[in-house]
Structures are given as C-alpha cells and as structure tokens.
C-alpha cells in the first residue's frame, strides 16, 4: 500500500477551518493509503494550545484511526500581530524538521498552505524518501496579510519584505509536482505565480452531517425572535466595523437578535466594542457535533468581508451556511467568486460593504416573507450539495492522486 504524508500546522482535534478540512482529507485518504501527518499542537481558533495537550512533551507521537501523527509544540502568541505570526510560522517549520526524518516512507507528500514554509518540510521529506510533492493552498497567506492590513505596503521596508515573500512563494510553488487551491479565482491567481501543474480542489461539505431535516433547535438559538447568526473565526479578514453598524441599526427592533459564535484574535476587542448593543450575544465555539443544530437553527446567516479581499481566500464557512438550508447575507467585493456563487444559488443576498441600507432591507424582506426565505435557503443547499459535496470532491481528488502516482 502506498503512503501519503500530509504536512500542515492545523489538524485534529481542531474542528474548524483548515484543521477540519485537513483532518477530513487525512481520514478519507486513510481508507486507501497509509497516512502520516506532520503537524503542530492544536491551538486554533483560540490561539492557545488546547488544555489536554499543554503538558505533553515538545515532540509527541499519536495514532488516531490508523493515521500516524507527528506533533511539534510550536510557539503560539496570545496576541497574534504580524511579527508574532512570523515567529509562530518559523518555530513550527524549524521544530518540525526533526519530525520530517521520522517518516518511514512517503510516495506523496501533501503540504497545506498556510504555511508556505510547510513546503520546505515537504521538500525535505521528498529529498529523504522520494515520491511526489503536492502543494494545496487554502489561503494565499501573503496576499491575505496585505489585504487584511496585517502586512501593509505603506512603509518602504514592508514593501520590500512583501516582494521578497512573493519571490519565495513562487520559488516554493515551482518546486511542486502539482499545486491545488480551492476556487476558480484562486486558480487564476495561482497560474500567475507558478509554472507547476495546477488543480482545483475546493473545500467540501457533508450534506448528511449539516442537515436541516435531522437537526434540533440549538440552545443558543431557541428564542422565537428572528435569529441572525455569524459562526466562525473572529479575525482580521472579516469587516467588524460594518458588523457594528449593522447590529446598531437593528438594535431597537426587539423582534430581531444577533448571535456570534466563535473565537479568534479580535474576539475580546469585539466584545469590548459592542457591550452597549442589547440585541447582540457572543458565545464560544460549539463542539463539531453541535454544528448542524447551530447552523440550522438560524433564520439568517451573515458574513461580512472586507471589500479588498477578492481572490486570495475563499471562506469555507459559506458551505456550511448554505448547506443549512437557511438564507445568507454576505458583503464583500462585487468581483469576488463568492458573488458568482450567490448568483447561481440563492439568487440574491450578496452586497458591497457600502450597501448597509440594502442589507437591512434584505433582512426585513426575509423576516416578513418566510416562504421566500425558505425558497432561497433550499436553493442554496441544493446548489452547494451538487457542487461541493464531500464524496464528489474527494473522489475526484483521489483520482488525481492515482494519476500522479502511476
């Protein structure tokens, strides 16, 4: 049986974002191959190593569901500024070199980006054990750092540093046998960055898991009010200034409540800046097994993105939002791929960040027309399951792996 090694800082028991997708990828591949994982200690989205892992040694091996997991206890900053994130990345990369030598065999090494530096580890495994190298990009982390304001090009030093990072990024991508990413817009960007073969590998959703027909009312959303939900990371990629204006606009309507469920670098700041909003409640993330109940209990999902984020990321949370069978309200750049997905699925609900009044009008349109809300929620779920289902995406992924390993 052939062996696949996956390298990425986020993995089980992290059950959101990249950690969830990398875990599900490894579990799926373990049905057909031996699977190794070189990863860090779980810390996301709280930016703190999980309690059950805190007292374990710096290098820790465990085997879960037949997957061999080699962990390194990386530096995790409590306040993840750009400089601290760089240290976080460097520490994981250097610390994981030792684990790269522990892998016994690897016919294919898959590096998950972020971090781009995980490709260095992949190249090391390839040099030691041979095999092919696959780079899979969840975020273009350097582009995203600029777009979200973490890495501004305003200063001369930061501009030079950013250009250096893009140069290294291209060098790394060009050393791979194949490079994949999660959306068509990101594929277009990728082709400008590398001469390696490219492949579309979108994130996926399990429609049997996120299922409105089998879900129950979640304790966070059990009122009779019109419930607006944001569930996900509370970080720099979201437009929290718009969120505050949106919530303030609806504050005096006692029939509407807004619920935020999540964690992240900006959570404490958000709590501090919204203490005066009586229509807003903020909770910690729920366990994965409660996610379907949570998402399917909302009347409306929201996701407010910054308008300068176009094609460096594709928010995976939209898949769960739409799979819930409930309508979504999203803001962002009008030229983004997500806008195209909205046009093809629920038809409307995507706005520019300047359109606050239009967003409010959309909320009331849904609130006052339950049959209309049900119709567009159904259309959204239908579209997502047709195009992003777990089985379809990963079956196509495995076919490409087989082709690569011939």
DSSP string, 190-214: HHHH-SSEEEE----B-TTTS-TTT
- Residue 264: name the closest of 302, 233, 224 by CA: 233
Backbone phi, then psi, for 371, in 5-degree steps?
-70, -35
Is 219-387 the same fold as 3-204+389-405? yes
Residues with Cβ within 8 Å of 386's Cβ and at least 6 positions away in sequence, in order, are none
In the chain, where the domains are located: 3-204+389-405, 219-387
Q: Is the peptide bond before 160 cis (omega within 30 degrees of 0)?
A: no
Residues with Cβ within 8 Å of 341's Cβ and at least 6 positions away in sequence, in order, are 318, 383
Place of tokens 């095999």: 131
Q: Is the peptide bond before 13 cis (omega within 30 degrees of 0)?
A: yes
What CATH number labels 3-204+389-405? 3.40.50.2000
The answer to whether 282 and 271 are in contact (CB under 8 A) is yes
- Residue 88: name the closest of 133, 141, 157, 167 by CA: 141
Q: 86: how many CB neighbours lie within 10 A of its CB?
A: 16
Higher pLDDT, 265 or 94: 94
Q: pLDDT tens digit string along 35-55? A: 999 999 999 999 999 999 999
d(C-alpha 404, C-alpha 156), whole Å: 43
What is the predicted pLDDT for the residue at 70?
99
Taking residues 266-289, report their average pLDDT.
96
Structure-block tokens of residue 389: 């289902």
Q: Does 106 score more than 90 pLDDT?
A: yes
What is the predicted pLDDT for the residue at 149?
65
Place of tokens 């976080």: 88
Handedness of CA 319, 320, 325, 331 (dihedral sign): negative
What is the predicted pLDDT for the residue at 347?
79
What CATH number labels 219-387? 3.40.50.2000
Q: pLDDT tens digit string along 135-157? A: 999 999 888 777 766 666 567 77
The answer to whether 72 and 92 are in contact (CB under 8 A) is yes
Q: pLDDT tens digit string along 195-231? A: 999 999 999 999 999 999 999 999 999 999 999 999 9
| Helix or strand (DSSP H, E) at 99 | helix 97-100
pTM: 0.90
Structure-block tokens of residue 300: 């409306």
d(C-alpha 7, C-alpha 112), whole Å: 6
What is the predicted pLDDT for the residue at 316?
87
Q: Does 257 score more than 80 pLDDT?
A: yes
Q: pLDDT tens digit string along 68-91? A: 999 999 999 988 888 899 999 999
What is the predicted pLDDT for the residue at 161?
81
Paired with 136 in beta bridges are 112, 180
């Amino acid at each position: 049986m052939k062996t696949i090694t996956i390298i990425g800082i986020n993995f089980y028991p992290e059950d959101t974002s990249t950690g969830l997708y990398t875990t599900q990828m490894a579990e799926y591949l373990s049905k057909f191959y031996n699977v190794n994982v070189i990863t860090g200690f779980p810390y996301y989205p709280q930016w703190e190593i999980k309690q059950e892992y805190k007292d374990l040694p710096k290098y820790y091996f465990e085997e879960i569901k037949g997957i061999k997991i080699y962990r390194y206890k990386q530096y995790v900053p409590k306040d993840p500024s750009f400089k601290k994130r760089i240290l976080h990345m460097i520490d994981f990369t250097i610390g994981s070199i030792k684990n790269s030598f522990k892998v016994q065999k690897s016919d294919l090494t898959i590096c998950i980006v972020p971090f781009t530096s995980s490709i260095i580890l992949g190249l090391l495994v390839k040099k030691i054990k041979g095999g092919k190298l696959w780079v899979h990009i969840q975020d273009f982390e350097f582009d995203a750092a600029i777009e979200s304001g973490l890495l501004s090009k305003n200063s001369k030093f930061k501009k030079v540093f950013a250009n250096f990072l893009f140069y290294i990024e291209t060098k790394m991508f060009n050393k791979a046998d194949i490079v994949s990413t999660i959306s068509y817009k990101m594929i277009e960007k990728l082709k400008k960055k590398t001469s390696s073969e490219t492949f579309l590998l979108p994130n996926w959703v399990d429609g049997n898991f996120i299922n409105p027909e089998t879900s129950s009312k979640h304790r966070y959303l059990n009122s009779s009010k019109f419930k607006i939900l944001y569930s996900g990371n509370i970080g720099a990629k979201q437009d929290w200034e718009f969120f505050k204006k949106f919530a303030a606009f609806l504050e005096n309507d006692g029939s509407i409540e807004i619920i935020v469920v999540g964690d992240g670098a900006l959570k404490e700041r958000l709590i501090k800046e919204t203490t005066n909003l009586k229509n807003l409640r903020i909770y910690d993330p729920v366990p994965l097994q409660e996610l379907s109940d949570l998402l399917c209990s909302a009347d409306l999902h929201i996701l407010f993105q910054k308008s300068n984020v176009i094609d460096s990321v594709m928010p995976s949370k939209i898949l769960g939002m739409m799979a819930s069978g409930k309508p979504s309200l999203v803001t962002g750049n009008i030229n983004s791929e997500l806008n195209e997905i909205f046009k093809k699925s629920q038809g409307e609900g995507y706005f520019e960040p300047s359109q606050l009044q239009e967003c409010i009008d959309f909320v009331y349109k849904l609130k006052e027309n339950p049959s209309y809300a049900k119709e567009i929620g159904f259309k959204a779920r239908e579209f997502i399951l047709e195009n992003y289902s777990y089985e379809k995406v990963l079956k196509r992924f495995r076919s490409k792996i087989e082709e690569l390993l011939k």
